[in-house]
Amino acid sequence: MKEPEMTGEPESIDQRLVMSVAHPLRIKILEALTDHVASPNAVAEKIDANLTSVAYHTRALDKFGALELVDTARRRGAIEHFYKATPRAFVGDPSWRKVPPSLLGGVSAATLQTFLDKAIAALEAGTLDGREDTVFRWMPLSLDGEGWKEVVAIMEEATKLMLAAHLRSQDRLNESGGQAAVSTVVGQAAFETAGSLGAA
């Protein structure tokens, strides 16, 4: 399957990706398939969801280009499909920020909730602070327009570098059979605070 082309121009929004997050379950499916290849049956078990619903939304994500069909296998007289998320299917890619305002709030809310769920689960499991080099921070900044643009550019470059590290890791993990894999969540955010709305 050819990955949908996503350009950086505001007028070239990939509406298939906009539609792919129309249901909260689709975000969970995308997450489950970000660093794993799995069938709808395996995904349903992993996220504790109804198989029929997972299969339906997986087909929708595949249709919209957010998933890639990797393999098929015959199981119990039926064909089982195995998918993985396409490299740019992760929630928060710059293209998601170009959705119509009526959808943007929902995408942001779903992104935030998903991140919080991951962080809380890691905190409860003890893995949030399980590594000495864990990075978990936020900081308030006072920026002018030019400074804001600099911060955004720095974060975009960091994203590219992290995705490159992810791909190199996948190559090494494939060679080692998945030994020493570190399931990781990386979060980035830069937004104007609510208090600034009343500023002159």
Tokens of 119: 């962080």
Mean pLDDT of 47-58: 94
Q: How confident is the model at residue 42 (pLDDT cuts 50, 70, 90)?
A: very high
Write phi, then psi, for 13 (nearest 5 degrees). -65, 135
Encode pLDDT of 117-134 as tens digits: 889 999 999 999 999 999
User: Which residue, chain included where needed, has tokens 């349903």?
Assistant: 44
Would you say 40 and 54 are in contact if contact means Cβ atoms under 8 Å apart?
yes
The amino acid occupying position 83 is Y
Mean pLDDT of 85-96: 68
Beta strand spans in the chain (E): 67-75, 78-85
CA separation for the pair 18, 99 (Å, rounded): 6
CA separation for the pair 160, 14 (Å, rounded): 20
User: Which residue, chain included where needed, has tokens 């064909």?
Assistant: 79
Q: Is the pLDDT of residue 140 over 80?
A: yes
Predicted confidence at residue 135, as pLDDT, reads 94
DSSP assignment of 102-151 equals: HHHHHHHHHHHHHHHHHHHHHHHHT-TTSSTT-----------HHHHHHH
Mean pLDDT of 37-52: 93
pLDDT above 90: percentage of residues in the chain: 36
Would you say 70 and 83 are in contact if contact means Cβ atoms under 8 Å apart?
yes
Predicted confidence at residue 92, as pLDDT, reads 61
Closest CA to 79 of 64, 69, 94, 89: 69
C-alpha distance from residue 179 to each of 3, 49, 52, 64, 175 (Å): 28, 28, 33, 33, 9
Q: Is the pLDDT of residue 78 over 50?
A: yes
Would you say 90 and 32 are in contact if contact means Cβ atoms under 8 Å apart?
no
85 in helix, strand or coil? strand
Q: How confident is the model at residue 36 (pLDDT cuts 50, 70, 90)?
A: confident
